[in-house]
Amino acid sequence: MRNNIAIIGAGITGIMTALSCARKGARVDLYDMGEIPNQSNLSWAHGRLWRGIHDRNELLQRLAFRSQCYWNEMIEFSDGYFGRHTKSIRMVNDELCESLEKTYHQYNIQYEINGKTALLQESIIKFDTDKKNAFIGFDAILLNAKEIYSHLCSEAINHNMISLHRNTIININQVNERGEIFIEKETKKYSKIIITTGTPLYKTASADCVKKFQVHVDVHIDDGLRNVIRPMLDMGDDNVSWCVPSPNNKVLKLSASNFAYDEKPNEIKVTHIREHLLSLLKINYSVVDTHVSIYYEKEREIRQSSPYWSFTNDNDIVTVSSCDASLFKASPALSEEISNYVIHGDK
């Protein structure tokens, strides 16, 4: 009997899982509350950063490394349009620097400390060099997230085993553990239901998730120095500021870990954050887009020790427990794991 699968949520994880299931012979109904591609989705971004080493998160590190080959092939297939390899910088104290050195040695990944890359970056962006080391990892890939997402959506749209259901809202009352979805008085039965939404819909997904409002700016760079910008994971300041350029270095996303709030910040606070982030730049820019993105994530302590997807006891419902932006880099491996489980029963 052919698998009949419903996937709720058409972000990068949902799209990749739909394609992976369809390639294994399953029929897939893909639902999203918006359009497909959904431009309000976290996948709709100028750039996302892949990196292999994730200190203090071995589960995400494993998924990221297993996804690396996929991203390399995408870059080669597109002749560099879908992304490029680069270096990442983080400002760290002596203890963390020593720990990172050991980890990079363990995985045989090249790195440097306080090298030329950091000096060039310092001419572009203000960051804290006081009692901090610039650790530069050679394991980064900048991904053209918006174009990758659009490309995969087009592939799903044209796949004869995938049916897309746009602008369809499904909530907890429309999903039950017998593999049934209720939509406008109609009941649809599936062998498996996979929930990959950014907003938790199902009780097993929502138990440990926290709603966050992240303030960030997309700065359109108008400067000859933009081509030497590198992503920074930690600028060494109290806010834990970070930046990620687009692969073509035309747009720079700026934010900070401490600019993620449990409640939506008011306009005054957003303006203050915008001004602070822009004050970090030493180069010329033109347009600035300010965003407050909503996402759900598990608290750091829980996220580091719990799996990224789970299934109900009767195995009919699979949920991705947290669909924040960090999962973009790991979506190839995550979608493969999920499709192997729902098709072949691999756990």
User: Could you read off the pLDDT of 280-314 as tens digits, one per residue?
Assistant: 999 999 999 999 998 887 766 666 566 788 887 66
Q: pLDDT class for 101, splitting at 50, 70, 90?
A: very high
Band of pLDDT at residue 204, cut at 50, 70 and 90:
very low
pLDDT higher at 301 or 99: 99
Q: Does the structure show a pLDDT above 70 at 342?
A: yes
pLDDT range class, residue 173, cuts 50, 70, 90 = low
- 275, pLDDT greater than 70: yes
Mean pLDDT of 217-226: 90
pLDDT, residue 205, reads 46
Mean pLDDT over 209-230 rounds to 90
Report the distance separating Cα 179 and Cα 193, nearest Å. Answer: 6
Q: Retrieve residue 3's tokens.
A: 């698998």
Supply the pLDDT for residue 309.
85
Q: Which residue has the higher pLDDT, 73 or 321?
A: 73
Q: What single-letter DSSP state applies at residue 250?
A: S
> In the prediction, which pLDDT does 153 show?
97
**Confidence (pLDDT) at 237:** 93
Q: What is the pLDDT of residue 26?
A: 96
pTM of the shown model: 0.92
What mean pLDDT do residues 49-65 have? 90
Checking if the pLDDT of 19 tops 80, the result is: yes
Two tokens, residue 175 = 């999903």
Q: Evaluate whether 309 touches 320 at the Cβ level (below 8 Å).
A: yes
Res. 148: pLDDT tops 60:
yes
Distance between the two ends of the chain, CA-based, in angstroms? 21
Residue 103 has pLDDT above 70, yes or no: yes
| pLDDT exceeds 90 at position 93 | yes
Higher pLDDT, 136 or 41: 136
Angle between helices 331-344 and 58-77 (to 10 degrees): 100
**pLDDT above 70 as % of the chain:** 90
Does 37 have pLDDT greater than 90?
yes
* pLDDT surpasses 80 at 332: yes
Phi/psi class of residue 42: alpha, beta or left (left: φ > 0; alpha: ψ in -120 to 50)?
Answer: alpha
d(CA 190, CA 193): 7
Q: What is the mean pLDDT of residues 341-346?
A: 87
Distance between CA atoms of 103 and 226, rounded to whole angstroms? 30
- Helix (H) / strand (E) element for 150: namely helix 145-157
What does each C-alpha distance from 179 to 5, 13, 167, 193 come to in angstroms?
9, 20, 21, 6
Those residues whose C-beta lies under 8 Å from the C-beta of residue 102, and which sit 6 or more positions away, are none
